A and B are shown apart, each in its own frame.
Chain A
C-alpha cells in the first residue's frame, strides 16, 4: 500500500488520506446510527424503528441528514455568533484528528506515531473545548449548565481513561498503536500463542475502566448528564439547529466509533489476527491482503464494542451529577492507579 502510495504525488497522497479519513469516520458513524440507534434500540423496546425510507429503513439516515440540511441555521440574538458557529466544528475536528493515529492494517495507517497513545488521548480532549464554548456562547442558561457539566464530566473521566491505557502501555512497552497491535498478536500467554495475547485478558480491569470511561467521554447514558433532556432541555446543544446540530450529532457517533476503534486496538488486537495462524513472526511477514482484511476485522471489533456501549446506553437510566463525579474520583481513579501498580510490578517480575 505504501509502495502504491509512493508513486502518487504529494497532493494526491494528501487527498487520499483526507478521503480515507472521511470514510474511516463517517462510515462507522452512519453504520452505528442505523444499526444501533435506529434498529437495536427499537428492537430492545419491542418496536421496529424506521421502516419506510428504503428497505428496512436503511435510507432513513439520508432522509434525516437532508432534513437537517434544509433547516434554518439559527443563531440566538445575544449569542457570540462567531464562536457559536465554530463550536460544533471543533468537536468534529477532534474526532478526525483522533482517527489519524488508528492503524487499520500492517501498512494501512494515516500516520505512524511513536507516541500515538499520547497523541490520541491529548486530541480527544479537544472536543471538551468545543463543548464548553458551545455552552458558553449560546447565551442560554441550559446550554451553559450543560457545557459546564460536560466539561466537568469529560475531565473527570479522562483521568481513569488515561490511567487505564497506562496499563496497556506498560505491558506493550510502547506508545505506538501499531506496535501495540503487533505486540498483542505476536504475544503468547503462558506459552500458548493460539490467540496471541489480547490485552483484554491480562488487562481486564483496565479494559473495564476504559469502557466505562469512554461511555462517559461519549456522554452516553447512564452518563449523559450534559444533555439531560429532563433537566437541561438538550444541554450545550439546546440552541443549535440545522446542520450545526447535525455536526454535533455526527460528532457524537463518529467519536463513539473512533473510541471503539482505539479500544479495539488497545485491548482486542486491532486489525490483526494472531500471527501464528499464518506463520508470521513479525510485522514484516504479514501478507499484503491484511491491508484489506485488516480494516474489516477492525470494523467487526469496533461494532462489537459499540454494541456494548449502546447496549448499556439503552438499558440504564441516567445517574445524578454528584454520583457521576463520585464514581469517577472515588472508584475509577483509585482502581485504575491500583491497576497500574499491579501491572508494573508484574511486568518487572516476569
Chain B
C-alpha cells in the first residue's frame, strides 16, 4: 500500500505540468521562429585568424578526427633589419575544417600556439549538401566577426591577441 501515494503523486506531476504549460507556456522554444541565444563561450564554430597562423600543423596533427587540412608554401619576405637575410615565412594555401567530421573537442583551439583559432557561438551553418560543410579559409575567417571578446584576464597575464 506504500506505493499508492507515489502513483498519485506521479499523476499530479503530469497534470500540474499540463496546467503550467497551458498557462505559462512551455520550456521549449519554437526554433526557427524564436531562438535562444547560446552562452557566449559555447562551442559553435571554429574561426580562423589567418594573420596569426604560421601553418605549424599542430592543430591538424592533434585533431582526433583529422578534419583540418593545411597546405602552405614558403616565401621570402624582406629582412627585418637593414642588411639582414631575407626572412622565410609560411603562407597558407589552404586551411579547411571539415565540420562533417569535427567533433567540437576544441583541441585545435587549445593547442594553437599563435592564437589563430577561436571558438565562436554561431551554430546555424547546416547545409543540404555534406560537402558544403567543408569550410575553407575564407569562410573560416568570416567567422572571426562573431568571435566574442576574450574575457578579462588576471592582472599581470599576457593579453590574448585577436
| Chain A residues packing against B (C-beta within 8 Å) | 40, 42-48, 51, 311-312, 314-316
Contacts and interface: CB of A to CB of B under 8 A. Distances in A.
Interface string B1-18: 000000100110111011
B27 interface: yes
Nearest to B28: A47
Nearest to A312: B11
A48 B11 CA distance: 19
Contacts of B17: 43-46
Contact of A40 (B7, B11, B18, B20): B18
Nearest to B16: A44
Nearest to A51: B30
B108 to A, nearest CB: 36
Contact of A315 (B14, B26, B27, B30): B14
Contacts of B27: 46-47
Nearest to A313: B14
A216 B86 CA distance: 85
Interface residues on B, range: 10 to 19
Contact of B26 (A43, A311, A312, A316): A43
Contacts of B138: none
B126 interface: no
Interface of B: 7, 10-11, 13-15, 17-18, 20-22, 26-28, 30
B31 to A, nearest CB: 10
Nearest to A49: B26
A43 B22 contact: yes
A48 B28 contact: yes
B14 A311 contact: yes
The interface residues of chain A, by DSSP majority, are classed as: helix
A311 B11 contact: yes
Contact of B14 (A44, A47, A48, A51): A44
Nearest to A317: B10
19 contacts: A43-B18, A43-B21, A43-B22, A43-B26, A44-B18, A44-B21, A46-B21, A46-B26, A47-B21, A47-B27, A48-B21, A48-B30, A51-B30, A311-B15, A314-B14, A315-B10, A315-B14, A316-B7, A316-B10
A86 B11 CA distance: 38
Most buried by A among B20, B21, B26: B21
Contacts of B20: 46
A264 to B, nearest CB: 21
Given A42-B26, A44-B14, 5 more contacts: A43-B17, A46-B20, A46-B27, A46-B28, A311-B15
A315 B11 CA distance: 6
B28 to A, nearest CB: 4
Contacts of B14: 44, 311, 314-315
A40 B27 CA distance: 15
Nearest 3 pairs between A and B by C-beta?
Answer: A43-B21, A44-B14, A47-B28
Contacts of B13: 315
A312 B20 CA distance: 18
Q: Report which residue of A45, A311, A316 has the largest number of chain B beta carbons within 10 angstroms of its beta carbon.
A: A45
Instruction: Pick from A40, A44, A316 the residue with the most CB of B within 10 Å.
Output: A44
A51 B25 CA distance: 13
Nearest to B25: A48
